[in-house]
Amino acid sequence: MAILGIDEVGRGPWAGPLVIGAVVLPDDFDTTGLTDSKKLTSKQREYLSQSLFSANISNIGLGWVYAPELDAVGLSAALRLATRRAVAQVKSPFHEIIIDGTVNFLSGTKLERHVTVLKKADFLIPAVSAASIVAKVARDTYMTELDLKYPGYGFASHVGYGTTQHKKALETLGKTPEHRNSFKPIQSFKNTTAIGNLAETKVAERLTADGHTILARNWRTHIVEIDIVSTRDDKVYFTEVKYRKTDDFGGGLAAVNAQKIRRMSLGAELYCKACKVSMQPILLAATVRGIDYEIESIIKL
């Protein structure tokens, strides 16, 4: 009898998506090592997740609800929505559904009567263990990518949970669009957008005073964003602005690493192509610090 196992990851974090995994194990799948994802190392989870996807991707569904949608509908509704999205992706037949926990997230659907809810199912039932593993690996991968997009928060280490490191980062950097504003601990922090706009305005004013003409603010594509684009003396400048309330995270330039510079170079190339700019591109990094938004430096990269 084929079992559809269901488990969730990301119910409690302050940031990032909620992810539901849904898995039907193939009859010949070796279940050795399958257990609650929290009891496995990251390497073990990644190996098992890859094995599960290699076995048959039609057996696996992943339901995602991102922070803005979760805020809009509430956590309970988000759990139901993510479960339905996950189950809809599973094409393999099954005869029974087991959901880890105490709540039937499929209540009110035609599948409701096939559901058994079971505490610690992710430890006891291989299909549920598999669901917990694929969901955990998918979400952790997403949070690692966020760590590159929003340096200084430590998303790769705490994956959005309310750690001391995360709280300190929020106090210093503000909250990102990935933070769950409906969660009470997040509601007291400022948005990075507001903070970033103030810092960028200060830098734009300085560049203008130095003879630059501002061409664009927050120019973006779906893969990259440039804070300030300006021109002076037949050159076009692409400026990354980094604000830090304190130096607890290494100062603004600590976030302008080699990967960030590569993304800036790509952004400059895309801007010049889209706007038909033939001038020589130059990359700049500006650091802004403190409650007075003092410009510490503007350097060429």
Q: How many domains does the chain have?
A: 2
The answer to whether residues 155 and 143 touch, using CB atoms and an 8 Å cutoff, is: yes
In a domain, 239, yes or no: yes
Q: Are residues 123 and 227 in the same domain?
A: no
Q: Are residues 72 and 207 in the same domain?
A: no
Q: Are residues 123 and 51 in the same domain?
A: yes
The answer to whether residues 10 and 16 touch, using CB atoms and an 8 Å cutoff, is: yes
Nearest-angstrom CA–CA distance, 166 and 178: 13
CATH of the domain at 230: 3.40.1350.10
In a domain, 182, yes or no: no
CATH of the domain at 39: 3.30.420.10
Count of C-beta atoms within a 10 Å radius of residue 262: 11
**61 is written with which tokens?**
């569904």
Q: Are residues 146 and 227 in the same domain?
A: no
Walk along the chain (301 residues) and give the pLDDT tens digit of each residue.
799 999 999 999 999 999 999 999 998 899 999 998 999 999 999 999 999 999 888 899 999 999 999 999 999 999 999 999 999 999 999 999 999 999 999 999 999 999 999 999 999 999 999 999 999 999 999 999 988 888 789 999 999 999 999 998 898 878 888 999 999 999 988 776 666 677 888 899 999 999 999 999 888 887 788 999 999 999 999 999 888 765 554 455 556 788 888 889 999 999 999 999 998 899 999 988 876 778 888 999 8
In a domain, 177, yes or no: no
Which residue range is the domain that position 50 belongs to?
Answer: 3-158
In a domain, 201, yes or no: yes
Q: What long-range pairs does 142-146 form, CB within 8 A, spacing at least 24?
A: 142/16, 142/17, 142/19, 143/16, 146/15, 146/16, 146/176, 146/178
In a domain, 64, yes or no: yes
pLDDT digits (tens, 9 = 90+) for 8-23: 999 999 999 999 999 9
Give the angle subtended at the CA of 112 by the CAs of 100 and 31, to the nearest 5°. 40
In a domain, 151, yes or no: yes
In a domain, 166, yes or no: no
Q: What is the pLDDT of residue 249?
A: 47
Q: Are residues 129 and 199 in the same domain?
A: no
Dmax over CA atoms of the chain, in Å, equals 74
Which residue type occupies 301? L
In a domain, 172, yes or no: no
Nearest-angstrom CA–CA distance, 167 and 161: 9
Q: Are residues 60 and 201 in the same domain?
A: no
Nearest-angstrom CA–CA distance, 299 and 301: 6
The answer to whether residues 298 and 206 touch, using CB atoms and an 8 Å cutoff, is: yes
Nearest to 201 by CA among 281, 293, 283, 271: 293
Q: Are residues 20 and 117 in the same domain?
A: yes
